[in-house]
Structure 1
Amino acid sequence: MFRVARNLIQQQVKSEKAVVRCLQTSTTSTAQAAVKEKPKAKASQGENYSFVMNLFKGQIEARQVFPYPNVLNEEQRETLEMLVDPTQKFFAEVNDPMKNEALERVEENTLAGLWDLGAFSLQVPQELGGLGLTNTQYARLVEIVGGNDLGVGITLGAHQSIGFKGILLYGTPEQKEKYLPRVSSGTFAAFCLTEPSSGSDAGSIKTRAVLSPDGKHFILNGSKIWISNGGMAEVMTVFAQTPVQDPKTGKTVDKVTAFIVERSFGGVTNGPPEKKMGIKCSNTAEVYYENVPIPIENVLGGVGNGFKVAMNILNNGRFGMAAALSGTMKTCIKKCIDFANQRKQFGQIITNFGSVQEKIARMAMVHYVAESMAYMISGNMDSGSEHYHLEAAISKCFASEAAWYVCDEAIQIMGGMGFMKDTGLEKILRDLRIFRIFEGTNDILRLFVALTGIQHAGAHLKELQNAFKNPTAHLGLIFEEASKRVVRSVGLGSPPSMEPHVHGDLIQPASELARSIDSFGQSIEIVLIKYGKSIVNEQFILNRIASAVFDIYASAVVLSRASAALREGGETAQHQKLMAEVWTLEAAQRISSNLKTIGSGKNLDNFTKMSSIAKNICKAEGIVQLNPLKL
């Protein structure tokens, strides 16, 4: 199937390159981890085209959001059509999710079939044994997998989305020629970063690699935990501390380096498969490294550049999670609708009741947002964008939370039937729980989005501050900013316009969104002035900033997609318009509430009280108050 299709695919996938810079600041480990993921645009790129990044300056950078991406050419579309049917057929007829779960591994026949389909090498170039798919084509196939078996999806994703992704992104020609054909034809790969003492704070890893006396190998020692495919991977992307000489000071310091490690090097072992709440068929194991000799040519991305490599691997693959979970949500919605359309209570089919209708509508809307984000970001990437990292982080957070919500509501609509194992929803709910944790916890990614955007806005204010040092040379910038502030202060300002970007039928919700963007930019400016660099410690505030950003980006994405549908005049255009209108109105209300919260003295005082409550409980090592009976 796919192997026949491979010969017909001609397009080449552009490699995504991004540079990550670590902010130097002293704060908590979670804030440090969030800041460390900050992507830095290359100097040669000039202006940053990220929609989300520019929100923090109260500006609309529309180029990556409007119009909604349509990146597949005719040949790519034909290729994708040729791949969709066999993928759906395979998961309908061959893969058995319940059997995989009972075995706590992917059944051998299924694994063999997936290798034969080429499903483990979707984005490997054709000349190196893969299908050479674009990100958008990849998203569509991953969506099918996510709609059928998330455990299999993790097995596939751990292999290619992160396992050997570093070789695709950073590998030398020699590394690619050596390893990519192998991982495309039966050799499993894994991404080995997490350790017992380092979860979100990736920079604190203890695994070390030291150059051998003859200078030909790095000797690796340490261990990794919770490694997907860890018990069966023969090729691993491993991250370890290495001694590096600081060119400025001449001192030797530890920096993380990425390595391509083969189990055949010797000294690589693993523990038994972990017992997990969900995704039970995916192999998760601890991996140990004892005096593993790694040839120096297996350094990936340069000595000391491992943090950048790790973060960009994760950033590059996050859109795929949104695509997969979009498929999961479709399955949950279909299951509960099939039930609800037949279920009668009090003499009526339950879909006639307003409370059930609201559940269905909200499930459909969050699915629409997540799906729209996935294909928006894949389209941006396929168009050559390097400014998508914040958007990808948002898509991962949003989709993982939306999928949990949709599955939970589907169970609620089905009542007792939804709670039964045979319905399949209880398995999906258990499988979904990990998605808010791995590949960057949602808590850390929220801080990452907020802190990265705030630093971008802070740089703009610093530029203005510097302009006042030489006002004659920077009169334009000074007068532009001064006029904005004066107009705002007397209430005559108008928000940035979104009318040119949306269909005429969506001007009202677009105007509402524009006002939210303007308010958001002003709120960020106030926060920067009030807190300065200490904002990194204000996580109560940062979380609400992130929530507002999520709602703004989600609204822009659905307005873009619905506008495209209205212009095309498809049969679902009016349905998409309804979802965009409802979503944008409610999102604007949430944005307003969050922005008021971060500036309200009463709420700030409440944050202090919540901090005290948490400290009291931690000190007591549990609930503080006695039982009402005092017994």
Structure 2
Amino acid sequence: MASETDLALRGGGFLLVEVSPDRVFIPEELNEDHLQLKRMTHNFVEKEVAPRIEELEEKKEGVITSLLRQAGDLGLLGLEVPEEFGGLSLDKYSTVVVGEEVPRGGSFAVAYAAHTGIGTLPIVYFGTSQQKAKYLPALASGEKIAAYCLTEPGSGSDALGAKTTAVLNAEGTHYILNGTKQFITNAGFADIFLVYAKVDGKLTNFIVERDMPGVSFGLEEKKMGIRGSSTRQVILEDVAVPAENVVGELGRGHVVAFNILNVGRFKLAAAAMGSAQLVLETALGYAAERKQFGVPLTYFGAIQAKLAEMAAQTYVAESVVYRTAGLMEEGFRGLDLTGDCRKEAGKALEEYAIECSLNKVLASEVLDFVADEGVQIHGGYGFIQEYPIERMYRDSRINRIFEGTNEINRLLVPGTLLKRAMSGELPLLQAAQAVGKELLSASPAGQEEGLGGVLRLVQKGKKLFLMAAGLAAQREGNALKDNQFVLMALAEMVLQIYAAESAVLRAMKLEGLEVQAKHKLFAAKASTLAAYTAFNSLEQQAKEVICAVEKGDAQATALAGVKKLARRANADLIGLRRELAAMTVEQGKYPLR
């Protein structure tokens, strides 16, 4: 049986143990190198990219590629590329600090993320030494731009249903690719395409170059948002790709595709979190200047309540992203990316598939909430293109679709947990049984004061999940994997637990750090609000799952167990929002930025 320390570092293991604050990484622990990189990125985006947002929105030719090359000159395109191939070999924290600043450049962030993430990383993690030497220096400098080609007109969420084919020629030197890829970011100007095609019915990843005969493109898609980014079809007609351009193992392209999407989801969350900070800043600026009934909007409680929730949820997203960065940094420590490391890299990326999906879902939905409230605070002006909040609102919506829809990502969470439970990787079912025994014998523990008590509340939430998941697995058996109603409820419970715990652990860890008292106070109040709000959701979701899988006396007994677990002290959530609003309005921006 794995120790609690080992489980705390395993993907999904946080559900089974009491995680201590020292086990999580928080943004307040960033070192001076990280902060200097963050400032440099901020200055670049503010001075070079932001002034050209309108040109980007109009797709003025050459602007986005020029900006990408400028980013390459600063080293921002090669953060995760080994130094031997022209990169910087930086840690996961560095990718977050850059990722949260880039969204200030509007649609530039989309091109940047597609290039540096899902476009370049398949070669970094799964490429051969020869492929890395050939392609990575140009990708790191911005001389060449990358794109990722998985989605097809008939297969989005069903990635394995792709129809694009690759057939080895008679000489055994080239694969002949035929098919169409849909919604490909950077397609209008990318030089290198990571294309997924089926060899004898099995998905395989290929490096395709733009100037290879038979490669053509559809027209630019007219999109709701992120209009400055390029989105086109990539059409492959008898494209001869050298056999040495296979990335990873032949017929195992799904390993590359899904694991690269894991890291893509994590990076998307960092960008969404940074975008939420920017939207909050924009809404605060407007609310402070706009007067109604002779006073600024920030005077009114209804507006203050919105600003408090916007700030608190942004804090939660930030806590989750940095916690996950710490896990991934631990998982990648010691991995040599200069050679053929596909097996080790695949294992490291797969380990935190659950957390990466949770990051993506949480941060994208926080951003959508914050952007929607930002428009509402602007009133009618929020609907006018002259105001940046209008573009931010439109741009935010794609994040719940990118990198696998949020529905697919939610379903991945309980699906992966159950697989790991059945294989013995995670003692999930044993933990569920332990909760059942505890409910039969134990009396409720006394309430603990302060953040320790809030953390105990999160721990109770874990028990609610284990109880509901255990009953669902017991009653549904193999049919559970197809019961998406129940799976979605369980996924929401896991999401709320990870989010609330990350927020509270950060606030607790801050108590031992030398940061301003008001910083600690905001974190404590935001995490308390988040935990109580999450627990209300957890209680309701547990009841819904139990009512779906249990009937009669068994249902009544289980619901009594929920009631027992859900006993908790009351908290003045309205008072917390009022205090958070005051701190947020005083700062005029996200208070912890």
Q: How far is the alpha carbon of 1:80 from its aligned partner?
A: 3.1
1:243-282 equivalences under 5 Å are 243=200, 254-282=201-229
Conservation of the 8 A alpha-carbon contact between 1:506 and 1:577: yes
Residue in 2 that maps onto 1:92: 46
Residue in 2 that maps onto 1:133: 90
Residue in 1 that maps onto 2:198: 241
> In 2, distance between residues paired with 1:287 and 1:177?
26
Conservation of the 8 A alpha-carbon contact between 1:51 and 1:60: no
1:459-538 equivalences under 5 Å are 459=423, 485-492=436-443, 505-538=450-483
The one-letter code matched in structure 2 to 1:442 is N
Q: 3-state SS of the aligned residue for 1:383?
A: helix
Q: 3-state SS of the aligned residue for 1:269?
A: strand
1:159-178 equivalences under 5 Å are 159-178=115-134
> In 2, distance between residues paired with 1:544 and 1:129?
45
The one-letter code matched in structure 1 to 2:154 is S
Residues 561-603 of structure 1: per-residue CA shift (max 9 Å, x gap): 1112122142100111000111101110111011101122599
TM-score normalised by L of structure 1: 0.78
> In 1, distance between residues paired with 2:433 and 2:305?
46
1:188 aligns with 2:188: no
Q: 3-state SS of the aligned residue for 1:341?
A: helix
The one-letter code matched in structure 1 to 2:479 is S
Residue in 2 that maps onto 1:441: 405
| Residues 48 and 290 (structure 1), Cα distance of their counterparts in 2 relative to 1, 3 Å cut | farther
Conservation of the 8 A alpha-carbon contact between 1:106 and 1:152: no
| Residues 588 and 145 (structure 1), Cα distance of their counterparts in 2 relative to 1, 3 Å cut | same
1:69 aligns with 2:69: no
> In 2, distance between residues paired with 1:592 and 1:92?
44
Q: 3-state SS of the aligned residue for 1:287?
A: strand
The partner residue of 1:388 within 346, 352, 375 is 352
> In 1, distance between residues paired with 2:367 and 2:397?
9
The partner residue of 1:343 within 275, 290, 299 is 290
Residue in 1 that maps onto 2:79: 122
Q: 3-state SS of the aligned residue for 1:94?
A: helix
| Residues 577 and 51 (structure 1), Cα distance of their counterparts in 2 relative to 1, 3 Å cut | farther
Conservation of the 8 A alpha-carbon contact between 2:421 and 2:428: no
> In 1, distance between residues paired with 2:294 and 2:426?
66
Q: 3-state SS of the aligned residue for 2:81?
A: coil
Q: How far is the alpha carbon of 1:428 from its aligned partner?
A: 0.9
Residue in 2 that maps onto 1:201: 158
> In 1, distance between residues paired with 2:461 and 2:94?
34
Q: How far is the alpha carbon of 1:72 from its aligned partner?
A: 11
TM-score normalised by L of structure 2: 0.82
Conservation of the 8 A alpha-carbon contact between 1:224 and 1:287: yes
Q: 3-state SS of the aligned residue for 1:241?
A: strand
Q: How far is the alpha carbon of 1:197 from its aligned partner?
A: 1.1
The one-letter code matched in structure 1 to 2:44 is F
Q: 3-state SS of the aligned residue for 2:77?
A: coil
| Residues 507 and 47 (structure 1), Cα distance of their counterparts in 2 relative to 1, 3 Å cut | closer
| Residues 593 and 92 (structure 1), Cα distance of their counterparts in 2 relative to 1, 3 Å cut | same
Residue in 2 that maps onto 1:555: 500
Q: How far is the alpha carbon of 1:420 from its aligned partner?
A: 2.2
The one-letter code matched in structure 2 to 1:125 is P
Residues 107-161 of structure 1: per-residue CA shift (max 9 Å, x gap): 2553442333233222212221123221111110111111x12411110111120
Q: How far is the alpha carbon of 1:70 from its aligned partner?
A: 6.0
1:305 aligns with 2:234: no
Q: 3-state SS of the aligned residue for 2:289?
A: coil
1:377 aligns with 2:324: yes
| Residues 72 and 219 (structure 1), Cα distance of their counterparts in 2 relative to 1, 3 Å cut | farther
> In 2, distance between residues paired with 1:513 and 1:407?
28
Q: Structure 1 vs Structure 2: percent identity of aligned residues?
A: 34
Q: 3-state SS of the aligned residue for 1:525?
A: helix
Residue in 2 that maps onto 1:53: 12
The one-letter code matched in structure 2 to 1:340 is A
The one-letter code matched in structure 2 to 1:214 is E
The one-letter code matched in structure 1 to 2:372 is D
Q: How far is the alpha carbon of 1:104 from its aligned partner?
A: 5.8
The two structures, once aligned, show a CA RMSD in angstroms of 3.0
1:593 aligns with 2:544: no
Q: 3-state SS of the aligned residue for 1:214?
A: coil
> In 2, distance between residues paired with 1:333 and 1:200?
32
The partner residue of 2:387 within 410, 420, 423 is 423
Residues 80-114 of structure 1: per-residue CA shift (max 9 Å, x gap): 34433332222222222122102366625534423
Q: 3-state SS of the aligned residue for 1:318?
A: helix
> In 2, distance between residues paired with 1:603 and 1:117?
59
Rg comparison, structure with higher value = 1
The partner residue of 1:359 within 306, 320, 345 is 306
The one-letter code matched in structure 2 to 1:110 is L
Specify every segment of 5 or more residues in structure 2 that has no aligned partner in the other structure, as ranges: 333-347, 552-593
| Residues 565 and 266 (structure 1), Cα distance of their counterparts in 2 relative to 1, 3 Å cut | same
| Residues 255 and 400 (structure 1), Cα distance of their counterparts in 2 relative to 1, 3 Å cut | same
The one-letter code matched in structure 1 to 2:366 is A
Q: 3-state SS of the aligned residue for 1:304?
A: coil
Conservation of the 8 A alpha-carbon contact between 1:270 and 1:286: yes
